[in-house]
Structure 1
């Protein structure tokens, strides 16, 4: 015996203009953080240009963060090792927070404050770039990583929320974006993509000129 059912049409819900207030407030906060990021446009371009020069000469990028910033770090590494827009060479970039066995071993043996610094001592060389991403700029494991990198002669950058903060004071250069933590992280992703835009353009320019 076959039973046939007829789907009932969904009732149209009446839109409540007030129902989007929370989303609107969130996006307004993001707009303000992005406006702050825009003020760093020339600074971000300098980073993209410098990174292209360094990586094309054989240096590498080491990048790290905690929580959502760890995801941003992996995102940037993937853009450089893989590709951002068009096809190009692969470039060396390592997201230190993605090394789960190293993280857990180092954290267990030396403490969480050393999980990035010890990896920096293992991988970084003079001329490399170490980029540390944070919303607070207060994470001790990132501060220790910056100190380790500078001791080795690597260039240290901090991409953080409002500054100055403890991380910016121990790095060679910093870009600070004001805003609530979610908006800082969202704007940091835009900043990372902006760096990639410049990086790819510089690499393409060099390929065209044969340099």
Structure 2
């Protein structure tokens, strides 16, 4: 496989994101509203999606490009003591939902990144977040997986290739950070 072939697959996927623009704009509106109402944004994922969750939460809390007030965001993937204690004492399937139970409030937004849409711990956390009254998003691949019927809204990336899905999630995530920079800068 050549680099140019991989680059072409990336560009093809990114070009298809245009179809998602209405949902992406709605996501930004909901995030802005939640933060202005005193809410937080929770990000969660596994593996590369865990790293992406941490990256996006950091951009919210610290800043993206512009100096602006801090934005409340938490990556549920960062506390190794919680992750390991919970997984050891209970189950990895509930490692995020337990944190949602402890930290989330109805005014919050919960975003689960799952390329397959079938990650048990993301599914469980989305269900618990909905019970609390949070608005839930699933960022998935083409099928949406089981999250298709569970999350309040989905951003389904039109491919089944994990790397391309994760790259597209970060394109959307970086745009969301840029949008928040604009909306929260005087």
Q: CA deviation at 1:110?
A: 1.0
Classify the secondary structure of the residue corresponding to 1:97.
coil
Q: Distance in 2 between matches of 1:199 and 1:91?
A: 9
Partner of 1:89: 69
Alignment pair present for 1:186 and 2:167: yes
The count of residues paired between Structure 1 and Structure 2 equals 185
Q: Among 165, 169, 192, which residue is 2:149 paired with? A: 169
Q: Which residue of 2 aligns with 1:114?
A: 94
SS of aligned partner of 2:154: strand
Counterpart-to-counterpart distance in 1, 2:130 and 2:90: 20
TM-score (norm 2): 0.95
Higher CA-based Rg:
1
Unmatched runs of 5 consecutive residues or more in structure 1: 1-20
User: 4+ runs of 1 displaced by more than 3 Å?
Assistant: none
The TM-score normalised by the length of structure 1 is: 0.84
* Whole-angstrom distance in 1 between the partners of 2:45 and 2:144: 18
The superposition leaves residues 21-77 of structure 1 with CA deviations (integer Å, 9 ceiling, x where unpaired) of 610110111112112222112321221122112112210011100000001101110
Please tell me the root mean square deviation across aligned C-alpha atoms, in Å. 1.1
